[in-house]
Structure 1
């Protein structure tokens, strides 16, 4: 069910993309951090991309995402540092990083439709952070819109209660006006604490999936009403295949499958 949806999303493979850091003073340790973060992923990091992009941007100290020799997106290097390079997942789960500060730089959001294979702790320290950060970005979008539906899975619903940052996020979402649906194994009752609708079960779709899907109203307008979805599947313990998309038809189809099957 969700396996099929993942393959459908992953079939829209984008052109080759490259990440590069442009600094007025040359190399930086952040280059190697980026390489480690995107090691074995469908996004390359390196100086060749930087040289090709340098002629198309006047900015210094920026990260650029290059596709077919053209700059697809650029972001201040400081924004990329704050988002993933100089943080860890605890900032999101403990609430140290408020939802209002969960905006991601464009060089990350524009990696949409690229399938990633990511490992969680202790197999890797940083890889899974990319999915956590993108999840918060989608939740922030839904909270700002204050309309439509958001569907989020947690494997175990107790995670909402255990993680201070997650509980605060879903309390804000529930108060925003968006309809909030949460999915997972029934080891905690979120409906008794939050204004959300819980969908519970075990096995495929509940125990092995991680999705955050914002499906806005069809007539929604405004800067925060773009449909967006993240879908990740645990293929083995602490190993995930993940992808996100902003394609409206793909988001609507995934939301429909979740409503129908879970």
Structure 2
């Protein structure tokens, strides 16, 4: 596996592959890789001749009070996993290569970024849109692979690519879960055994919401009340999450609020278990 450390080396690598007529897939990550990331690489390998992962903990998508400094960094272990997966190359730039002195240009995220994460993490999607656009410029690939677990992020990137005529195919990949349903996340390693058990309330609430919709419930307010109740452990403090940022149902494309489920929708949850903020979602 080739290790690319500068934007110039990364661009040359992709252009060389493209010059040979190859399809090139990129898998942007912040490292601390798990099976969810590796499933994105596997999906890329199905579609593309060469797959390049990127590992970069992007400082511009973290607020000052968030976990940038303690975000897990496991670069050598990550590279071993990618090489075992058969990934062709990994791009591992230093922060100064991505944001050199004097850097001042940012991407204004699309309207779909305003609510949900945008409300609770105001500059998060500006940082996400900027780093993803930079990666698309540095690595002019044919395909880019993103997980549905970060559903709003996926919609932000899809809108940005559409609105700015970026010549890349964005491929959405299913959320990968533990056998008990917990969505894989680099932040799961912050959870102690009791907290991990509590975190299952999130997927449970989403599953039950899906079942209620399949049984004929269409009233969004009623469904959201049930989600909140389940996240709070049904009154059992030991099963309750510590804080709910949102547990809501919105239009699956625009992320606009809904009163009735009369078109494709998605249920999304962001909640704290201890100090760890977890997100998950379920298409309805």
Structure-2-length-normalised TM-score: 0.28
Q: Which has the higher strand share?
A: 1
Q: Which has the higher helix share?
A: 2
Larger Rg: 2
